[in-house]
Amino acid sequence: MTPSRPPRALTAAPGPAQALGVDEPAGKSESLTTVLIALGANVLIAIAKTVAAMLTGAASMLAEAAHSWADAGNEVLLYVAARRSVRPRDARHPTGYGREAYVWSLFAAFGLFAVGAGVSIMHGVQELFSPEPAGMFWVSYTVLGVAFVLEGVSFLQALRQSRRHARESSRDVLDYVMGTSDPTLRAVFFEDAAALIGLTIAFAGILLHQLTGSAVPDAVGSILVGVLLAVVAVVLIRQNRRFLVGVAVEPMVRAAALQKLLAQSEIAQITYLHIEYVGPGRVFVVAAVDLVGDIPEHMVAEQLNAIEDRLAQSPRVAWAVLTLSRPGAPALDPTDPADPLRG
């Protein structure tokens, strides 16, 4: 506790919704919509590609069918992730179930690697050594065209959501998608982007097969699609692993949160602050504070608990724990770029 401080420009406590400025809202309705759109598109595309692969015998088309079935399975897991991660906290899970989103998204990324990438690369290699005749190329082109439109619709939904949140957090779209705490948005964005690139590769491979009469370009196209999916899967696995282990919010976000916490009328200074993601758009806050004035000891806990309760009203805060600062501990300065890195 410290002596009373002079009044600041911001003396009123911020409202619950503005308590902390994490990277995106905790609500999942928009991400669920994005996942469901992607699921519907991928199921239709997977069926069409499978039929086309059986009719034409094109290796790239079979690779694309495996890709779409893997994506469809992944969307089911992402839907489970989005639903299970929003369950309220309980006595055994004080920070809630938000990290379940990363567990199920990790399963989906492994599925993309094993099924999508594995089948595509394996079939492409087999086609190189034992080429099969292909025909009815117009069927492949028709299916690829329809798939491109459907995948484009799904990708645009993910892109719209990403652009809006990136603009709100003053970041570019790719940087936001890579760093967002929402794994479902990241997975749909990268999977749909990979799908559009994969369709282009498949089209080139099938066209060269038709023009040259050689199955090699088609087989190489299948392998390239598999490599593309493997790269995307590794990126998604890495990001989900990071959030499962524990990721603190970005320094810029932490500095903004520090300023808003200091606007609480009861807090004179903050000497320690740690804000960690525990789910999509949900954080765990730990802070050491000095309270204004020299209040009796029995009232300290009441004031700290009152501030914790106020922070917990925000949908972004899963749990907040405040304690008194150590005597003599230096205060964090929200105007100093180096300070938010401490703690």
Instruction: For 64-87, write each residue's pLDDT tens digit.
Output: 888 888 888 888 888 888 888 878
Q: In which band, very low, low, confident or very high, does the pLDDT at 337 lie, cut at 50, 70 and 90?
A: low
For 124-146, b/e burial (b = at least 16 CB within 10 A) is beebbeebeebeebebbbebbee
Spatial distance between the Cα atoms of 89 and 26, rounded to a whole number of angstroms: 14
Q: In which band, very low, low, confident or very high, does the pLDDT at 29 lie, cut at 50, 70 and 90?
A: low
What Rg, from alpha-carbon coordinates, does the chain have?
A: 25
Residue 341 has pLDDT above 70, yes or no: no
Q: Specify the pLDDT at position 238.
A: 95
First to last CA, the chain: 20
Provide the 3-class DSSP secondary structure of residue 47.
helix
Query: What residue type is assigned to position 160 of the chain?
Result: R
CA distances for 116 relative to 48, 51, 159, 210, angstroms = 16, 17, 23, 25
Flag the least confident range among 54-58, 297-301, 304-308.
297-301
Residue 254 has pLDDT above 90, yes or no: no
In order of their start, the domains of the chain are 29-246 (1.20.1510.10), 249-341 (3.30.70.1350)
Q: What percent of the chain has pLDDT over 70?
A: 88
Residue 218 has pLDDT above 70, yes or no: yes
For the entire predicted model, the pTM comes to: 0.79
Q: In which band, very low, low, confident or very high, does the pLDDT at 174 lie, cut at 50, 70 and 90?
A: very high
Mean pLDDT along residues 166-192: 89
Q: In which band, very low, low, confident or very high, does the pLDDT at 5 lie, cut at 50, 70 and 90?
A: very low
Q: In which band, very low, low, confident or very high, does the pLDDT at 243 lie, cut at 50, 70 and 90?
A: very high
Output the average pLDDT for the chain.
Answer: 82
Q: Specify the pLDDT at position 224.
A: 93
Residue 23 has pLDDT above 80, yes or no: no
Q: Specify the pLDDT at position 11.
A: 30
Q: Specify the pLDDT at position 27.
A: 45
Residue 7 has pLDDT above 60, yes or no: no
